[in-house]
Amino acid sequence: MVPDVTNRAARVRQALPRFLSVLAYVLTITVLPAVAKTHPVPLDKNVDSAKCLECHEDKAKGKAVHSAIATGCLSCHEVRVTKDVTRVKLNTAVPYKLCLTCHQDKDATQIQGHVHEPAVRNCLTCHDPHTSDNKYQLLKPTSGEKKDNLCLTCHNQGVDVPEKGSRHAALDMGCETCHVTHKTGPEPTLENRFHLTKAAPALCVDCHDPKDADLQKAHQGQPFGTANCLQCHDPHQSAAPKLMAKFLHPPFADKTCEICHAPAKDGKVVLTQATAKDLCVTCHDEQAKKIDNAKVPHPGAQASDCLDCHNPHASAQPYLPKTDAVNICLGCHTDIADLHKKADLHQPAFEQGCSTCHEGHGSDNEHLLRTASVNKLCLECHGPDSKPQKLEAQHEVTIFGGKVILPEDYFAKVPVLPLKYNVGHPVDGHPVSDVVDPTDVTKVKTKIDCLTCHQPHASAQPGLLVKDQANNALFCAGCHKNLQK
């Protein structure tokens, strides 16, 4: 936005009280854990743990007692005596720092990989620091109904299953049947990302025997013991029977497996065509033509097999990506993957997937974009005339004439610009498209589009502004030279 420089001082004065109140709140929640509490009973400055336990005996008893209790209360607490006032505080400014003095392996700043959110800064979200009836001093069990289950304090898997849906029975055995909360690793595997005890299918076959006759019949005699079960099944709940994933390949959904599969031979899958690509193009010939003949080809699509990107049976996301709609592209486009480290991420790029804006098989437009004009692409979502089509039954919306499927709440996080005749952003009268020469309307006086000011993927600053710049007058002065005076 272009600030009104003459009113900046007034706005600063108006904002100052609110800023100070916010600052006071931040300081309060940051410093409060470190503030020593006045002890109701005066203590000697050389007090020992035995004295503490005269009143706090309950802190040393229970089914799961913190091992630190054995080393004494002063391992974690500090007693301060000033004249006749006794105060007790933790030995560190915040609780999680105290925990890390012993549990260094849980330090999120040193861990490569996805860390369970509560474990980043607040161990006491899940653990009691002294004793509990649950192992690992957990505040609640990891099984049972929502009100009794620690995990369901934050997560809702298996809680609200549709009437005709299905729910994994393993949920009743407890979340730790499949998950180890603190487990992670640098590789972006499902095992690390979701803290699994082991990867699928090894995890699944612990309960589901591939030799079971009913399971083999359900899979139409095709070998499945070494397949990734999570490509077709949701591990928690589904709106469909048998925990089926949300999006199904039509032959798979219709149980017409013989379209793609011949009878298995020697325990191995046999296709009805020589290669997977030959098989896919028997139905998806239009995609094969696009890959071969597009004005702007996608080298990845030309050089790869269909199954390098797509799961042939099912997926939790539209168009059956083999992993998910974001990471399936980032495996090759590592330059874009690096942008994930930035603070402000564009929702389509890092939540919904690259195909929101790009065509994966080939395009007539630069950068494989879905439209010839950058602005037309952006205004499909951000324009005042944006009209996503609702798919009520599926709880989804579509854009670009039904070519892109998005969650029904997608637009709740999308700012819509108050444009009229291509002006009105970021302030009234500001153009968002090329400004023509008033003396010759066939000539462009100033070239401008959305990418003049914004980055399409990510930025270190809010607003996705180019070169990671902050949203202030200095940014605007890059074009409006009069603001530099």
Amino acid 112: pLDDT: 86
Question: What is the Cα gyration radius of the chain?
Answer: 29
Span 384-417, pLDDT tens digits: 999 999 999 889 999 999 999 999 999 998 999 9
Amino acid 15: pLDDT: 47
Half-sphere exposure of 5 (CA within 13 A, CB side): 9
Residue 248, classed as helix, strand or coil, is: strand
Q: How many Å apart are CA 397 and CA 237, to the nearest integer?
A: 22
Amino acid 18: pLDDT: 54
Per-residue tokens: 347: 């929702």
Tokens 């082991």 found at: 198
| Residue 349 φ then ψ, to 5° | -70, -40
* First and final C-alpha spacing in the chain: 18
Q: How many Å apart are CA 96 and CA 119, to the nearest integer?
A: 9
| DSSP result, 186-215 | SS--HHHHTTBSS-TTHHHHTTS-TT-HHH
Amino acid 13: pLDDT: 45
Residues of the chain with pLDDT below 70 are 1-35, 485
